[in-house]
Amino acid sequence: MSRASTSQRPVDPPRSLQNRAGVQTRALLLSVAERLFAERGLEQVAVRDITEGAGANIAAVNYHFGSKRGLIEALVDRGAGEMNRRRERYLDALKEDPHPDPRSLVEALVMPTVDMIRTTPDGRYYSQFLSRLATNPEFLPLVNQAHDPHTNRFLALLGRAFPDLAPNVRLLRYVAAKDLVNQFVGEPTGRIPTWLGAHVEIGFEETVEALMDMIAGLFAAPVSETGARLLPAAEPPSVAPKE
């Protein structure tokens, strides 16, 4: 009797198939979570929404990531890794140039985000997700830690391209330029794209070119006497993460 029962018991799938299914489930959870966070915001998305969207068990998020926060950290790690690899290629092309072309420098700031949106299925969702994280005090340090490794490299190149700008002025303009990238191309349903869509007919490619024109002008703009007094020439503290 016991032998018959044992022989009729379903056979577990090979471990390799189980591992493959686990990898696929993890990737699907990441993609679904990224899209939902981008569309709704962090607070409006529950773990159940993510698992239902992925067709997974309610415990899958805890199994693969430990918690909702662990899932968010995994999303940042995945997206920042891809974005940073793209940005490195642009920065590496300029690193030996003693006087980098300002337009090429602007491209190094703008185009990694644009390339990711163009070429990866989740590229735009990651940009929107990142914009939402950047306004959340709890997760802003996580965003900075993931994306700041290239900040000092960019600021050094910016100093070569615009040597007459005080370091603190360069830093302020760099921060403003990054915010423009997020608002113009990273948030397609945000305030600026929505307003533009209601007033002018402009496509994505035209928006990117106009954005780069604006940022080039931002970096090249003269500094007023008041601005020079408010932003002294002392070197700002390093923003690179500690080793």
pLDDT value at 202 more than 90: no
What average pLDDT score do residues 45-49 get?
96
* Angstrom distances, CA of residue 87 to CA of 105, 117, 215, 229: 11, 14, 17, 33
d(CA 140, CA 127): 14
Place of tokens 């830690």: 145
Cβ atoms of 127 and 116 closer than 8 Å: yes
Helices (H), the chain: 2-8, 15-40, 47-54, 60-65, 68-92, 102-119, 123-134, 140-147, 151-161, 167-181, 191-199, 204-220, 225-230
State how far the Cα of 232 lies from the Cα of 97, in Å rounded to an integer: 27
Convert the pLDDT of each residue in 116-143 to its tens digit: 888 876 778 888 898 888 888 899 888 8
Count of beta carbons in the 10 Å neighbourhood of residue 59: 10
DSSP reduced 3-state for 242: coil
**Residue 66 φ/ψ region, left for φ over 0, alpha for ψ in the -120 to 50 degree band, beta for the rest:** left
Predicted pLDDT at 6: 47
pLDDT at 21 (0 to 100): 65
79 to 16, 92, 153: CA distances (angstroms): 27, 20, 20
Mean pLDDT of 221-242: 65
Taking the C-alpha atoms of residue 52 and residue 73, their distance in angstroms, rounded to an integer, is 20
Question: Looking at the predicted structure, is the pLDDT value of residue 236 above 80?
Answer: no
Least confident residue range of 33-37, 186-190, 195-199, 201-205: 186-190
Domains of the chain, earliest start first: 14-66 (1.10.10.60), 72-230 (1.10.357)
Give the pLDDT of residue 88. Answer: 93
Residue 107 pLDDT > 50, yes or no? yes
Q: What would the pLDDT profile of 140-196 be if each residue is shown by its tens digit?
A: 888 888 877 788 899 999 999 999 888 889 999 999 998 889 888 877 667 777 787
Q: Is a pLDDT exceeding 70 seen at residue 53?
A: yes
For the cut 90, the answer to whether the pLDDT of residue 65 exceeds it is yes
Judge whether 45 and 33 are in contact, CB under 8 Å: yes
Helix axes 151-161, 102-119, angle to 10 degrees: 140
With a cut of 70, say whether residue 233 has pLDDT above it. no
The larger pLDDT score, comparing residue 55 to residue 243, is at 55
Residue 120 contacts residue 134 (beta carbons within 8 Å): no
Q: What percent of the chain has pLDDT over 70?
A: 84
Structure confidence at residue 119 (pLDDT): 83
How confident is the model at residue 235, as a pLDDT? 52
Q: What average pLDDT does this structure show over 79-92?
A: 91
